[in-house]
Copies of this chain bind each other. A is one copy, B any other.
Amino acid sequence: MTFELTKDYLDRIQTAIDIGDEQTLRAEMDELYPADISGILYELETDSARYLLSLLDRGVGAEILANLDESDRGKFIASFTSKDLAPFVDQMDSDDAVDLLNEQSIQVREEVIGLLEDREQARFILDLLHYDEDVAGGLMQKELVKINVNTNVNQCIEEIRQQAENVEKVYAVYVVDEAGKLLGFVSLKKIVLARKYAKIADIYEDDVVSVETYRPVTEVAEIMRKYDLDAVPVVNVQGRLLGRITIDDVVDVITEQAEDDLQAISGLSGEVEEDDTIWVRAKAQLPWLIAGAMGSLMAATVINGFQHELSKVAALAAFIPIIGSTGGNVGIQTASLIVQSLADTSGLTATLGQRLLRTLVLALLNGAVVGLIAGCYTLLIGEPRLFPVVGLSLLAVVMLASFMGTVTPLLLSKIGINPAVASGPFITTANDLIGIGVYFLIADFLLAEL
A: which residues have CB within 8 A of B? 1-2, 5-7, 10, 33, 35-36, 38-39, 42-43, 157, 160-161, 164, 169-170, 188-189, 191-193, 208-212, 223-228, 230, 235, 247-248, 250-252, 254-255, 257-259, 261-263, 265-268, 272-275, 278, 281-282, 284-286, 288-290, 292-297, 299-301, 303-304, 307, 310-311, 314-315, 317-322, 324-326, 328-330, 332-333, 335-341, 344, 346-348, 350, 355, 358, 361-362, 365-366, 369-370, 373-374, 377, 381, 420, 423, 425, 428-429, 432-433, 436
Contacts and interface: CB of A to CB of B under 8 A. Distances in A.
Contacts of A224: 251
Contacts of A335: 266
A251 B248 contact: no
Nearest to A355: B274
A322 B307 contact: no
B347 A321 contact: no
Given A336-B263, A339-B262, A369-B289, A228 B248 contact: yes
Nearest to A41: B347
16 contacts: A38-B346, A160-B192, A164-B189, A188-B192, A225-B252, A257-B258, A262-B340, A266-B336, A273-B340, A274-B340, A278-B361, A284-B333, A289-B326, A296-B326, A310-B310, A329-B425
Contacts of A1: 208-212, 235
Nearest to A345: B4
Nearest to A281: B362
A88 B111 CA distance: 59
Given A273-B340, A304-B315, 9 more contacts: A2-B223, A43-B348, A161-B193, A164-B193, A273-B344, A289-B330, A293-B374, A321-B432, A325-B432
Given A211-B1, A292-B326, A318-B304, A346 B35 contact: yes
A44 to B, nearest CB: 11
Contacts of A338: 274
Q: Which of A225, A297, A301 has the most CB of B within 10 A?
A: A297
Contacts of A324: 296, 321, 324-325
B315 A307 contact: yes
Contacts of A191: 192
Given A273-B337, A296-B326, A347-B39, A317 B310 contact: yes
A333 B355 CA distance: 30
